[in-house]
Amino acid sequence: MRRRAHHLLERPVVGGHGLRRYAPFALSPPYALGWQHAQTVVKFQQMAPIRTPSDLARRSAEALRRRPRGEPDDGFKRETFALEREAARAQARAMFRRYPKAAYMTEIEHWRELPDGRIEFTMRRLPTAD
């Protein structure tokens, strides 16, 4: 098997799972080999960082910490209202008109009557209609 002409500019690097690959490095300044070759060496000199399982675990933990507590992460937007009975009905109708159930999966997720007679309800919907 013949090696490529620029094999002198590569060195073996052991990657993940014991795989061997070749990473370019310059024995002399890249411009000494000609401008066209210098562009190739510079282009391939930066390699992607090797990611480990601990990196993945750290990023996942950071994402969980940034998420607001008490809110489920199911993709729905939720709005909670506490209004008089007639105002609550009007608000629910307006939400269903603005965000139709067929497109946004809009629904009243929870409702209850408060001791002062107002109605507290939570409506949920998808953020966009697909």
pLDDT for residue 30: 53
Q: How far apart are CA 11 and CA 24, in angstroms?
A: 6
CA–CA distances in Å: residue 16 to residues 22, 28, 31, 51, 125? 13, 29, 32, 9, 43
Please state, as a whole number, how many other Cβ atoms lie within 10 Å of the Cβ of residue 25.
12
What's the one-letter identity of residue 103? Answer: A
The predicted-structure confidence for 12-21, as pLDDT tens digits, reads as follows 444 555 554 5
Question: Who wins on pLDDT, 88 or 47?
Answer: 88
The domain segmentation of the chain, as residue ranges, is: 7-47, 77-125
The predicted-structure confidence for 76-115, as pLDDT tens digits, reads as follows 899 999 999 999 999 999 999 999 999 999 999 999 999 9
Q: How far apart are CA 108 and CA 106, in angstroms?
A: 7
pLDDT for residue 51: 81
- pTM for this entry: 0.47
